[in-house]
Structure 1
Amino acid sequence: MPAEPQDDRAPVSLLKGRIIAGFSLALVIALSAYLLMSASRAGNQAFASLWFLAVFPAYLCALICYVGDPAGTRSRNFYVSVPPILVGLVIFGSAAFLGEGIICLVMLSPIWLIFGLIGAFSVRRMRRRRDDAASFHASLLFLPLLAGSVESQIPVPHDTVTLTRSVIVNASPAEIWPYAVSNAHIGNDEGRWTFSQSVLGLPRPRATVLDRPGVGGVRTAYWSESIDFQERVTAWQPGRRLAWRFAFTNSSLQHHTDEHIAPDGPFLKIDTGDYRLTPLPDGTTRLTLTTNYVAMTHVNLYARWWGELLLGDIQDNVLAVVKQRAEARHEAR
């Protein structure tokens, strides 16, 4: 009698089941950690920790790979695919069910992908070389907890960052000064295209109103439809320099951008800013906008990269508005 064909669907089905189980377990752990951090006294500070941004995604991807490849025989492609799939699921779930803002999710994605790959390939390498399975299981379980405990004992650095953008304006300092001081009714067509505002949806300025000229005056900035904050004037040199200290008297900016990132919070403080107007020999003027902020996390290097992009785009757009209005005034003379 001819031999009956072997049914190899069962092991394939089992392996698929293990992969699904691995992702399901990782998502449950991720949701549990999110809820615990949201309810903890540390609040939003935990979301800017090295543990959450680096150790946690490495652990989740390592766990998925461990559960999904029990024999350690899957190809390299399997390990490469785990982090982007996990990050995609986390982004979709966070946006659809947890109401997370686009800024938080975009900032999270690159670093989770990088450390997810590190976690995945660390497991692949360790499993092929392990001699003691019990030690390996224990390290997979306790190393993330240990990393979190160690980080909590490390002092948080406070790095002052200066961000500067400038533009050449075909107008005199006297013509530019009124628009550096205040602007009313900024239209949707004013300013310039930026990735942060045109793609990610960061708010754009709508008006800036000064209550009185001189040091001690308060500029109130109105952004988007429902955002306002203050810039309290600390230096007033007409045609030369205007400086201020930021005052965020409400949470409107945080609610519009990201609940975890307050402009005057535990790990970010947007502090001061100024305009400088420098006349050039050809009759134009260099207009420079500077913003100073303090980063207070264990991932300040990563945070500074995003600050350069996001705040830099905001500065470029504000400068474009002033440039367009001042040059229009100059040409109308």
Structure 2
Amino acid sequence: MQFTEKGLPGQINLFCRKAFIYLCSHYPIPMFSRLKKIPVPYVITVGFALFLRLLFEISMLSAVFSVMTISFFVLTPFAMGALTIYFSDIEDVKSLQFRITHPWRSVFIFMLATTALAIEGFLCWVMILPLFMLGSSIGALITGYFKLRGHPHNRIFVSLLTLLPLLITPLEKQLTRSPAVYKVYTYVDIQAAKETVWSHATSVSEISPAEHTGWLTNIIGIPRPVKAELNYAGIGAYRKGVFEGGLTFDETVTDYEPGRKMTFTIKANPYDIPASTMDEHIVIGGQYFDVLNSTFELEQMDNNIQRLHLYSNFQLTTTFNTYASWWAGWIMKDIQDNILHIIKGRAEHGNQI
């Protein structure tokens, strides 16, 4: 998933490219006579993983294979761990620590390669790295068990493990993907007049970089909000939510109670979102992820304290919604906290709307 080269994600992508170039220059692959200088498990394992990644992205095979499947995210690292241990020296395999952690090297090299080649971006790897590390260790432990016992059919067993992503993914693709809706809730207490808080919540003028507080979205490179100005107060009103990187949302007010509640739908046109901002796998409004609506509610607490609530509903349509919802919810919460603290700072310090 490619993001802009700005900030930490861009620096990490650049580092991965340089690291990959360094590895290639010190361990040239084209000459077969020099292959013995390259750790064989890494060459075979990473080569296999790259083959699967590219195969699963071919549009002509989209009815059969897809990267956005639990089969790919779990069985590919499972097979990588099996291959790493199968081609490792038996003396090394005797170590339990080696069997658990050594496959991670193949995973990290695969991460460097896909990032350097702009196949995947930093955000993708943030989300899938735990699955790859766990899956590769499990595959390695199972393969190591049979290898240490000198099982006569170990080669056949490993071959079957490497075929699992190719065999299981088409079956998973036939499953019906039921959309699941999840709610994210955040709030902030603001010491300011009710009217002041409400005006800042409903219409947000251009946000300066110094106002942002979202640490997670800043680290992983999610576009930050720029502005969202309301054309009038009432049902049917329109806001255009503008984010960095050319990301925009059409927001229509569906419920409005002055000074108390505002609900608005959120619609993104995925075809208008630049590829450098979000790729097709996580693009908002795409086939896997969408934000449906948001609600601001203002509650009088004590004296001059107002509690501003923010609810959002988002939809996931994958075969691994449980895992994806954990990440999506965490990111959405950070985005909402950022927006609420911008409103708090403006209301409490008298910033202009």
Among 326, 344, 352, the alignment partner of 1:323 is: 344
Matched, 1:300 2:324: no
Which amino acid counterpart does residue 243 of structure 1 have in structure 2?
Answer: T
Between 104-113 and 125-134, report the one with greater CA deviation. 125-134
Report percent identity of matched pairs: 26
> 1:72 touches 1:128 (CA, 8 Å); kept in 2?
no
Matched, 1:24 2:43: yes
In 1, Cα distance between equivalents of 2:133 and 2:111:
12
In 1, Cα distance between equivalents of 2:175 and 2:119:
31
In 2, Cα distance between equivalents of 1:34 and 1:316:
35
**Cα displacement (A) at 1:160:** 1.1
Matched, 1:185 2:240: no
Between 247-256 and 117-126, report the one with greater CA deviation. 247-256
Partner residue of 1:68?
88
CA 1:115–1:141: 2 relative to 1, 3 Å: closer
In 2, Cα distance between equivalents of 1:69 and 1:170:
65
Among 134, 154, 171, the alignment partner of 1:150 is: 171
1:189-217 CA distance string (max 9 Å, x none): 113241222x2222221111223332222
In 1, Cα distance between equivalents of 2:322 and 2:203:
34
Matched, 1:34 2:53: yes
Partner residue of 2:221?
201
**Cα displacement (A) at 1:72:** 8.2
Matched, 1:261 2:261: no
Q: Secondary structure at the match of 1:47?
A: coil
Which amino acid counterpart does residue 293 of structure 1 have in structure 2?
Answer: F
Among 111, 115, 124, the alignment partner of 1:95 is: 115
Which amino acid counterpart does residue 29 of structure 1 have in structure 2?
Answer: F
**Cα displacement (A) at 1:308:** 2.2
> 1:101 touches 1:259 (CA, 8 Å); kept in 2?
no
Q: Which runs of 5+ in 1 are unaligned?
A: 1-15
> 2:179 touches 2:318 (CA, 8 Å); kept in 1?
yes
Taking the TM superposition and a 5 Å limit, the aligned residue runs for 1:132-151 are 132-133=153-154, 135-151=156-172
Q: Secondary structure at the match of 2:157?
A: helix
Matched, 1:281 2:302: yes
**Cα displacement (A) at 1:47:** 2.4
In 1, Cα distance between equivalents of 2:97 and 2:249:
49
Partner residue of 1:107?
127
* TM-score w.r.t. length of structure 2: 0.81
CA 1:64–1:251: 2 relative to 1, 3 Å: farther
CA 1:58–1:133: 2 relative to 1, 3 Å: closer
Structure 1: 4+ residue segments shifted above 6 A: none
Partner residue of 1:230?
250
Q: Which runs of 5+ in 2 are unaligned?
A: 1-34
Q: Secondary structure at the match of 2:323?
A: helix
CA 1:160–1:72: 2 relative to 1, 3 Å: same
Matched, 1:213 2:233: yes
> 1:168 touches 1:284 (CA, 8 Å); kept in 2?
yes
Which amino acid counterpart does residue 234 of structure 1 have in structure 2?
Answer: T
Partner residue of 2:23?
none
**Cα displacement (A) at 1:288:** 0.9
In 1, Cα distance between equivalents of 2:281 and 2:342:
29
In 2, Cα distance between equivalents of 1:221 and 1:167:
21
In 2, Cα distance between equivalents of 1:153 and 1:70:
40
In 2, Cα distance between equivalents of 1:210 and 1:204:
19
Q: Secondary structure at the match of 2:234?
A: coil
**Cα displacement (A) at 1:71:** 7.8
> 2:73 touches 2:128 (CA, 8 Å); kept in 1?
yes
1:73-131 CA distance string (max 9 Å, x none): 54223222333212211221122112532211211211111111111111112334545
Matched, 1:314 2:342: no
CA RMSD of aligned residues (A): 2.6
> 2:214 touches 2:335 (CA, 8 Å); kept in 1?
no
In 2, Cα distance between equivalents of 1:55 and 1:99:
19
In 1, Cα distance between equivalents of 2:83 and 2:242:
47
**Cα displacement (A) at 1:318:** 0.4
> 1:19 touches 1:67 (CA, 8 Å); kept in 2?
no
* TM-score w.r.t. length of structure 1: 0.85
Which amino acid counterpart does residue 145 of structure 2 have in structure 1?
Answer: R
In 2, Cα distance between equivalents of 1:37 and 1:70:
33
Partner residue of 1:174?
195
Matched, 1:116 2:136: yes
> 2:75 touches 2:164 (CA, 8 Å); kept in 1?
no
Matched, 1:247 2:263: no
Rg larger for: 1
**Cα displacement (A) at 1:17:** 4.5
- Number of residue pairs aligned between Structure 1 and Structure 2: 314
> 2:78 touches 2:161 (CA, 8 Å); kept in 1?
no
> 1:53 touches 1:111 (CA, 8 Å); kept in 2?
yes
